[in-house]
Chain A
Amino acid sequence: MNNNIKNKVAWKIYFVWLFKRIIPLFILEIIFLVLVFYFLGKLVFVQSVFENAFLSSTQNPIVVASYMFKAFLGTSAVKKVVILIILGIGTLFMRDIGRAMASYISTSRIAKQK
């Protein structure tokens, strides 16, 4: 009976945390990513970069990464900054997804405790 309370409280607390701490960050990060991608799209013809990467790679991820890195080094300073911002926000986004998942797993374990 009391563990029932613990389970319910654990999930309620998880969702309070998710909506209070994580979802607002997700929304902000997505807005930033969309804006920066939009800005990047005006500077670079992204599709051709990926097409070239695909053609030069024969689908080997190391070759793709190498091509991307060379393309990055060869680009202008403004584009480099925009790409770094995207990578930064992308990293934060992935970190928050990781936090949400880790916390979900912890909460599931707590809720399963007898």
Chain B
Amino acid sequence: MEQLNSNNLKDEEILKLSQEDPAYFSFLVDKYKEAFLRAARGITHNLEEAEDIVQETFVKIYRYAANFQKRPGIEFKSWAYRILINTSITHYQKLKKERGNTEYLDPVLYNESPAFAVNKNVALEKDMKEGVAKAIGQMPEHLGRVLKLYFFDDMSYEEIAKKENISMPALKMRIFRAKRVFKKIVGEGI
């Protein structure tokens, strides 16, 4: 096991090997823990909760490895991120029940990667909305507007493209830029 050079193996192969010897799974943990932690922390804004989510995600990945192996053509990375996001949502819903008011960030800010195409059921809390509105107010008007339409008015890409009279690729680019600007403003502290 120690002589194994994990660089020569695909994630899928490591996952398969780990079903016979669980020690192999540590290669996947090493490879993805930082990224998972960053993603989970971005969603929860809480390190302890993010750590719990990451642990749960790895266990689910291992436990449901057979499901992944039955789906050819699906990349391990996107499958793993999907589990991470689903686990985050489940965690969020559980916390919301327990605490009543949990502050999680809207998926619109975390869908740069296709793996982050989180479903819209993740609710925004009131104070979060206020913070977002504040940040949007500081953005260039055309960027803030598209983000607002998507973020607050819950409009689809198609509807926004029609309203703004721009093509879909142009809208996607504009939203992408808007999110970058938004993140920068949020990073500076709203």
Q: Is A12 an interface residue (CB 8 A)?
A: yes
- Complex Cα distance A16/B1, Å? 19
Q: How far is the CB of B37 from chain A (nearest CB, A)?
A: 7
Interface size on A, residues (CB 8 A): 19
How long is the Cα–Cα vector from A8 to B21 in the complex, in angstroms? 17
Confirm or deny: B58 has a beta carbon within 8 angstroms of a beta carbon on chain A.
Answer: yes
Residue from B23, B30, B54 within 8 A of A103 (CB atoms): B23
Name the prevailing secondary structure of the A interface residues: helix
**Chain B residues closer than 8 Å to A107, beta-carbon distance:** 22-23
**When the two chains form the complex, which single residue of A2, A5, A17 contacts B22, counting CB atoms closer than 8 Å?**
A17
B23→A2 contact, CB < 8 A: no
Task: Judge whether A64 is part of the interface by a CB distance below 8 angstroms.
Answer: no
User: What separation, in Å, do the CA atoms of A107 and B18 have in the docked complex?
Assistant: 12
List B residues at the A interface (Cβ < 8 Å): 1, 18-23, 25-26, 29-30, 33-34, 37, 47, 51, 54-55, 58-59, 62-63
The 7 closest A-B CB pairs, nearest first, are A106-B23, A17-B22, A9-B58, A13-B22, A110-B26, A13-B25, A12-B59
